């Protein structure tokens, strides 16, 4: 069945059975029709990239995706699809997975009557959920993209939740509505914008996806102090698109990545250990700045997969050649930074520190900047690999 009522009940059942939907937010999820916030054109992935799906052409599939467990891609390339036939290169806005929405709202711990600021309105669905629980008059949402903001305003008004939607840069917050009890960002940050701290009431909470160019997958919760700072910790695992002024994009260029002129070495550290282990990649990203990793599988032009590390700010790169079953991996490095050396050093530091998980990290914000430090309390160490 593809009628919205049945699909909505199925979504709620999934979230309830999995334990992701808290009792405090279940009424809001049941009341808000998610499909009313999804634009008529969305994008889906296929072998050729991001392909548009128009509601008018396949209404049943469109409706299934509106209530499905996956995120719904609602904008590509900042609203200007770069490929032929409206195909996209980059995802620039989406309706988050329902389970991620539920996780973040539970972590926000917002109570009725509190004042809240949402950074990144997107479709407006999350703002409607906030308005249902906090009160429409208590919610403000800010969106940098004018078209997205206009769409959200229309959807919020038509569903009975006309919250204040501001078109502007979320990095600046919205001082006209401060002080807020809760600030919630639906865009990831590397540096928490200090205006968010200034605009949050002492004792209030800032909840945001947080990470590094190397690791974009942490949900951080900050408590604002009376001295103008904030203390944060990692409370979940989520990955979001970054604030526009904090984007970090890097690609692998075959011409620039010439292995014949690179510095050669070998390592016994496997690619998985530095890229796919959540705890390790979180730590590496904190100790190796301005570096991202890109996995390129084997294809007709290459016998082996490669894990690339790129710093576009210095034109430095490195790669690890992944040969199945190997216990020794060729390394190539080029540019002023020896990126692999930095990554391997960070990995070995993390391993020797007892393989600390995300709960060990403390993030502090002051007017002077942001710092992540490892706390002393340690859980039992896992066996070495």
Closest CA to 112 of 89, 132, 142: 132
Residue 217's SS3 state is: strand
Tally of helices (H runs) and strands (E runs) in the chain: 10, 18
Domains of the chain from N-terminus onward: 4-236 (3.40.50.150), 259-352 (3.30.160)
Q: What is the pLDDT along the chain (385 residues), one digit of tens a residue?
A: 579 999 999 999 999 999 999 989 999 999 999 999 999 999 999 877 899 999 999 999 999 999 999 999 999 999 999 888 899 988 999 999 999 999 999 999 999 999 999 999 999 999 999 999 999 999 999 999 999 999 999 999 999 999 999 999 999 999 999 999 999 999 999 999 999 999 999 999 999 999 999 998 899 999 999 999 999 999 999 988 888 877 777 777 654 567 888 999 999 999 999 999 999 999 999 999 999 999 888 776 667 888 999 998 999 999 998 887 788 999 999 999 999 999 999 999 999 999 999 999 999 999 999 999 999 864 444 444 3
CB atoms near residue 202 (< 10 Å): 13
pLDDT score recorded for residue 260: 80
Entry field: residues in the chain: 385
Q: How far apart are CA 238 and CA 215, in angstroms?
A: 11
Q: Could you give the CA distance from residue 317 to residue 75 in angstroms, rounded to a whole number?
A: 30
Q: Is 141 a catalytic residue?
A: no
157: helix, coil or strand? helix
pLDDT score of 257: 64
- Per-residue pLDDT at 385: 34
Cα 299 to the center of its chain, rounded Å: 29
Residues 18, 1: Cα–Cα separation, whole Å: 22
Which residue intervals of 38-138 are DSSP H helices?
59-66, 98-108, 125-134
Q: How far apart are CA 225 and CA 205, in angstroms?
A: 10
Q: Which residues of 123-160 are buried (b: 16+ CB within 10 A; e: fewer)?
A: bbbbbbbbbbbbbbebbbbbbbbeebbebbbebbeebe
CB atoms within 10 A of CB 13: 11
DSSP structure class, residue 381:
P
pLDDT at 110: 96
pTM of the model: 0.90
CB-CB neighbours of 15 under 10 Å: 21
Q: What is the DSSP letter of 379?
A: P
Q: What are phi and psi of 101, to 5 degrees?
A: -60, -45
**CA–CA separation, 252 and 368 (whole Å):** 35
Q: Is the peptide bond before 263 cis (omega within 30 degrees of 0)?
A: no
What does each C-alpha distance from 128 to 33, 108, 157, 328 come to in angstroms? 10, 15, 10, 53
CA quadruple 168, 174, 180, 185: dihedral, nearest 10: 30
What is the distance between the alpha carbons of residues 385 and 380, in angstroms, rounded to a whole number? 15
Q: What are phi and psi of 268, to 5 degrees?
A: -100, 0
For residue 126, is it left (φ>0), alpha (ψ between -120 and 50) or beta?
Answer: alpha
Q: What is the pLDDT of residue 47?
A: 72
Q: What is the H or E stretch that residue 351 is in?
A: helix 339-352
Dihedral of alpha carbons 205, 247, 218, 337, sign: negative
Q: Of these residues, 6, 22, 93, 94, which one is catalytic?
A: 94
């Amino acid at each position: 069945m593809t009628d919205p009522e049945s699909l909505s009940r199925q979504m709620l059942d999934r979230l309830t059975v999995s334990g992701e939907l808290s009792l405090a937010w279940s009424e809001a999820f049941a009341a808000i029709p998610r499909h009313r916030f999804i634009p008529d054109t969305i994008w889906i992935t296929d072998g050729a990239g991001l392909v548009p799906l128009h509601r008018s052409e396949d209404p049943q599939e469109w409706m299934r995706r509106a209530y499905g467990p996956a995120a719904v891609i609602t904008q590509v390339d900042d609203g200007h699809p770069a490929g032929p036939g409206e195909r996209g290169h980059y995802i620039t806005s989406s309706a988050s997975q329902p389970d991620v929405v539920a996780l973040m709202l539970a972590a926000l711990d917002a109570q009725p009557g509190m004042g809240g600021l949402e950074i990144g309105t997107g479709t407006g669905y999350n703002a409607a959920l906030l308005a249902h629980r906090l009160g429409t008059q208590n919610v403000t949402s800010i969106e940098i993209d004018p078209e997205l903001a206009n769409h959200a305003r229309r959807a919020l008004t038509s569903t009975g939740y006309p919250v204040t939607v501001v078109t502007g840069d979320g990095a600046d917050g919205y001082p006209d509505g401060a002080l807020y009890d809760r600030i919630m960002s639906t865009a990831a940050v590397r540096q928490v914008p200090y205006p968010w701290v200034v605009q949050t009431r002492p004792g209030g909470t800032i909840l945001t996806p947080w990470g590094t160019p190397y690791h974009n997958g942490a949900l951080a919760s900050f408590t604002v102090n009376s001295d103008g700072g904030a203390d944060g910790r990692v409370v979940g695992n989520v990955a979001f698109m970054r604030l526009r002024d904090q984007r970090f994009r890097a690609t692998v260029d075959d011409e620039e990545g010439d292995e014949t002129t690179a510095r050669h070495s070998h390592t016994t550290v496997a690619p998985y250990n530095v890229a796919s282990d959540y705890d390790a990649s979180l730590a590496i990203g904190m100790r190796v700045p301005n570096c991202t990793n890109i996995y390129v599988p084997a294809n007709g032009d290459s016998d082996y997969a490669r894990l690339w590390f790129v710093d576009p700010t210095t034109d430095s790169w490195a790669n690890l050649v992944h040969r199945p079953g190997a216990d020794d991996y060729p390394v190539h490095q080029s540019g002023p930074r020896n990126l692999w050396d930095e990554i391997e050093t960070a990995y070995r530091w993390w391993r020797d520190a007892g393989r600390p998980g995300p709960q060990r990290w403390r993030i502090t914000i002051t007017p002077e900047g942001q710092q992540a430090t490892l706390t002393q309390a340690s859980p039992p160490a896992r066996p070495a690999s």
